[in-house]
């Protein structure tokens, strides 16, 4: 019993630890008297003073309150809300961009090795700018109607005056000056055509989002087509992701004219839009997707393509 007590940590404990490796979810591993601790706002190799924020039978969590020996990769976070008492959305802003990519590669490598038992050499490629890339965001209002984001592992809303990861066309800085209805979820989407819509839903309960600004359907230009994306349908949140991912799929799949291709979890048809020009008139694409909203969009998007079949159903 005594040895078990020595391994325990309690909420509020302040400890000096060495930061080991990165973990999934934006945390970093540290240890204290046998206890494994998942630490936010650290970097591997650093010596930090941390405060325990939660404990459990298998998981202890903490945040850095002082950096005693800093990593050369530590930088000043560009966002003033990226700190332990701020927004919970950006885990790596205190780390140089080059090191961020290496850490993400480490996470993917470790996950494949541990879960799939597959050894991979992973390289995270540079795609676009480090800021102003997000085209979809879900903000929340507090009981005073102030717009913000949840704190880390919390339902407490941190009011903001901007979000540097969102594209300028989202106009977050203007939206934060408005007093909203209290305790609502604010879903904001911007298309690469410049269109924007906003939908609201209560933070509690199962009520669906209600459109309050813009059109129900946005239009995304990709692969020489204009794709319709309804407010309820999924679309990649990174502004450069549609083109980058489409290019990667085409390179990997090496689609030839006459091929018959399955686009699984196909959404509104991002990949199908590129695939149909490669399979030609003698090939075909079958798009499978579970979301009725997305397949409804896809059917409109490919209504004039006889070699595309859209199927709503469980891919598994």
Residue the block writes with tokens 């075909």: 284
Same domain, 172 and 264: no
Query: What is the Cα–Cα distance from 158 to 198, expressed in whole angstroms?
Result: 20
Q: What pLDDT does 57 receive?
A: 86
Q: What pLDDT does 58 receive?
A: 86
Same domain, 158 and 55: no
Same domain, 10 and 102: yes
The count of structural domains within the chain is: 3
Q: What is the CATH number of the domain that holds 298?
A: 3.40.50.150
- Strands ordered across the beta sheet of 260-264: 260-264, 284-289, 308-312
pLDDT digits over 138-194, tens only?
A: 999 999 999 999 999 999 999 999 999 999 999 999 999 999 999 999 999 999 999
Which of these three, 126, 155, 183, is where a domain ends?
126
Query: What is the Cα–Cα distance from 306 to 209, expressed in whole angstroms?
Result: 34
pLDDT digits over 195-246, tens only?
A: 999 999 999 989 999 999 999 999 999 999 999 999 999 999 999 999 999 9
Query: What is the Cα–Cα distance from 103 to 46, expressed in whole angstroms?
Result: 14
Which of these three, 100, 126, 152, is where a domain ends?
126
Please give the residue range of the domain that contains residue 250.
Answer: 241-312
Same domain, 175 and 266: no
Percent of the chain with pLDDT over 90: 95
pLDDT digits over 40-83, tens only?
A: 999 999 999 999 999 998 899 999 999 999 999 999 999 999 99
The residues pairing with 310 across neighbouring beta strands, listed in sequence order, are 287
Which of these three, 92, 126, 160, is where a domain ends?
126
Query: What is the Cα–Cα distance from 145 to 131, expressed in whole angstroms?
Result: 27
Measured CA distances, 105 to 42, 120, 125 (Å): 17, 10, 10
Same domain, 109 and 142: no
Same domain, 114 and 81: yes
pLDDT digits over 113-144, tens only?
A: 999 999 999 999 999 999 999 999 999 999 99
Q: Is the pLDDT of residue 1 over 80?
A: no
Same domain, 196 and 283: no
Q: Which burial class, exposed, middle or buried, applies to 203 when counting CB atoms under 10 A from its CB (0-12, 13-18, 19+)? A: middle
Q: Is the pLDDT of residue 17 over 80?
A: yes
> Nearest 5°: CA angle at 186, between 220 and 40?
95
Same domain, 108 and 64: yes
Q: What pLDDT does 6 receive?
A: 52
Nearest to 162 by CA among 87, 238, 235: 87
Q: What is the CATH number of the domain that holds 48?
A: 2.40.50.140
Whether residue 210 lies inside any domain: the answer is yes
Query: What is the Cα–Cα distance from 156 to 151, expressed in whole angstroms?
Result: 6
Whether residue 228 lies inside any domain: the answer is no
Same domain, 122 and 1: yes
Give me 198's structure tokens.
């906003």
Given CA atoms 37, 38, 42, 45 in this order, what sign does their dihedral have?
A: positive
pTM of the model: 0.91
């Amino acid at each position: 019993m005594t040895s078990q007590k020595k391994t325990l940590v309690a909420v509020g404990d302040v400890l000096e630890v060495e930061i080991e490796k990165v973990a999934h979810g934006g945390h970093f591993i540290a240890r204290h008297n046998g206890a494994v601790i998942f630490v936010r706002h650290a970097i591997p190799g650093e010596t930090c003073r941390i405060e325990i924020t939660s404990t459990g039978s298998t998981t202890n969590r903490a945040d850095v309150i002082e950096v005693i020996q800093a990593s050369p990769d530590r930088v000043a976070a560009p966002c003033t809300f990226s700190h332990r008492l701020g927004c919970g959305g950006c885990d790596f802003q205190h780390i140089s961009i080059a090191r961020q990519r290496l850490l993400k590669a480490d996470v993917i490598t470790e996950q494949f090795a541990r879960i799939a038992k597959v050894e991979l050499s992973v390289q995270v490629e540079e795609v676009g700018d480090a800021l102003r890339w997000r085209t979809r965001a879900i903000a929340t209002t507090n009981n005073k109607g102030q717009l913000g984001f949840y704190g880390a592992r919390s339902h407490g809303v941190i009011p903001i005056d901007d979000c540097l990861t969102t594209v300028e066309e989202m106009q977050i800085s203007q939206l934060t000056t408005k007093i909203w209805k209290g305790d609502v979820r604010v879903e904001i989407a911007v298309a690469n055509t410049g269109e924007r819509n906003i939908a609201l839903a209560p933070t509690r309960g199962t009520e669906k989002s209600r459109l309050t600004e813009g059109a129900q359907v946005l239009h995304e230009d990709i692969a020489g087509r204009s794709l319709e994306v309804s407010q309820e349908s999924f679309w990649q949140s990174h502004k450069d992701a549609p083109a980058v991912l489409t290019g990667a799929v085409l390179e990997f799949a090496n689609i030839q004219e006459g091929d018959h291709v399955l686009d699984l979890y196909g959404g509104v048809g991002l990949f199908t839009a590129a695939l149909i020009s490669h399979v030609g008139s003698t090939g075909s694409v079958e798009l499978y997707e579970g979301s009725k909203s997305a397949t409804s969009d896809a059917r409109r998007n490919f209504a004039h393509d006889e070699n595309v079949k859209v199927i709503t159903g469980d891919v598994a």
